[in-house]
Amino acid sequence: MERVLVLLGLFVLLAMVGKAQSDWKDVNGEYINAHGGGILAYGGKYYWFGEHRPAKGFITEVGVNCYSSTDLCNWKHEGVALPVSPEAESEIGKGCIMERPKVIYNKKTGKFVLWFHLELKDRGYEAARVGMAVSDTPAGPYRFVRSMRVNPGIFPMNMSQPDRNMQWDWDKYKEWWTPEWRKAVEEGLFVQRDLKDGQMSRDMTLFVDDDGKAYHIYSSEENLTLQIAELTDDYQGYTGKYIRIFPGGHNEAPAIFKHGNIYWMITSGCTGWAPNEARMFSASSIWGPWTQHPHPFIGPGAEKTFGGQSTYVLSLPENKYIFMADVWKPDSLMYSRYIWLPIEFDKAGMPVIEWKNSWKPK
């Protein structure tokens, strides 16, 4: 394990100072190509799912990649868990974009359930859908089930009756970022606009709580507002319960973990592939209220998340947590790097993520 994390730390350091080319390779010496990823712990192994990214451009050419490891350092390529489809009419046909895949295991059905951000061919980032696929085995192959918007026809639980009743005069809100527009966004302008077809879903993660309930957490409303939606018992759909958090807060890249009875969430701002100052939130119920705190990073580059953007927090036994982030290389996304750092807690119980050149779990 020691070798693992020293390697990771070195990796992080080099990523931060921008010197390049220490890259994380799998056990066969190939670049680990698993960006915007997350980890499933199952049967004594870790499975890392992430975006396979091409050397040029940002359209998905291959699909969702999967690696396995027993020590979090040495990763074996298991193959493509969900490939793009060769069928032109498929929603996941060549030309789509698959981002931020996350897999959870459903104890009741015995199925592994993969959710990911899906953009449809030739539509840029406008479709803002979420895709779902299932498998009987952790590494797949996964069978694509469907894509969707979130909870069509249903208002968020925490949207007030007056806001639900608003009749927006759309001509007044064509121009973005005016004070009137901001107020309208906070009051649910885009929730109303998307009510019939369902809420937008771009950057996303999944979270399984201690009671087995699972949640989809996603950037919605034109990336302006995060939403949290409860999943059905089989983790393959929505119950209809969902909330908005930080309307107009412009959060992407949500990563969530629970420490004791507190839910913590780390997000980024919205600056494309460029790093920015992370945000941190907490709540004592998944349904909020959520409170914002200063970001948890300490060390050179902390104010820009050490050059990275959050993607996942891996919860390990004994209250250990690993913060995972991507250092995007937009000129060649395939070579984007990874930052993994331990989450510690200060005397007041606040999460702290300190820059470390090398580290290992105590």
Taking the least distance from each CB to ligand DGJ, the nearer of 192 and 309 is 309
Which residue's CB is nearer to ligand DGJ, number 99 or number 187? 99
Least distance in angstroms from the C-beta of 119 to ligand DGJ:
9
181: number of Cβ within 10 Å: 16
Closest CA to 221 of 150, 148, 311: 150
- Residue 26 interacting with ligand DGJ (CB under 6 A): no
**C-alpha to C-alpha distances, 136 to 81, 109, 124, 229, 295, nearest whole angstrom:** 12, 9, 32, 24, 38
Cβ–Cβ contacts within 10 Å for residue 37, how many?
25
Tokens encoding 297: 């990073």
Amino acid at 173: Y
Q: How far is the CB of 1 from ligand DGJ (least distance, A)?
A: 29
Residue 272 structure tokens? 């494309």
Cα(190)–Cα(171) distance, integer angstroms: 14
273 or 287: whose CB is closer to ligand DGJ? 273
Looking at beta carbons only, is 111 or 117 nearer to ligand DGJ?
117
Residue listed under structure tokens 């690696």:
67
> At its nearest, how many Å lie between ligand DGJ and the CB of residue 5?
25
CA atoms of 265 and 280, how far apart (whole Å)? 6
Work out how close the CB of 273 gets to ligand DGJ at its nearest, in angstroms, rounded to a whole number: 6
- By beta-carbon proximity to ligand DGJ, the closer residue of 205 and 309 is 309
Number of residues counted as binding ligand DGJ (CB under 6 A): 9
Indicate which single residue of 99, 163, 194, 230 sits in contact with ligand DGJ (rule: CB under 6 A). Answer: 99
CA–CA–CA angle 149, 216, 141 (5° rounding): 85
- Smallest gap from Cβ 252 to ligand DGJ, in A, equals 4
Structure tokens at 354: 């300190």
CB of 125 to ligand DGJ, least distance (A): 7
Give the rounded distance of the alpha carbon of 333 from its chain centre: 17
Tell me the per-residue interface mask from 46 to 85 with ligand DGJ, x by CB under 6 A, - otherwise: ----------------------------------------
Q: Is 119 in the site for ligand DGJ (CB under 6 A)?
A: no
Residues 186 to 225 in contact with ligand DGJ, rule: CB under 6 A: 203
Closer of 24 and 273 to ligand DGJ (Cβ):
273
Which helix H or strand E contains 223, and what residues bound it?
A: none
> Which C-beta is closer to ligand DGJ: that of 27 or that of 274?
274
Decide if residue 36 touches ligand DGJ (CB under 6 A).
yes
Residue 273 or 335: the one with the smaller Cβ distance to ligand DGJ is: 273
Beta strand extents in 176-306 (DSSP E only): 204-208, 214-220, 225-231, 238-245, 252-259, 262-268, 279-283, 291-293, 297-298
Q: Does a cis peptide bond (omega within 30 degrees of 0) precede residue 289? A: yes
x/- track of binding to ligand DGJ for residues 246-275 (CB under 6 A): ------xx------------------xx--
Q: Where along the sequence are the contacts to ligand DGJ (CB under 6 A)?
A: 36, 99-100, 203, 252-253, 272-273, 309
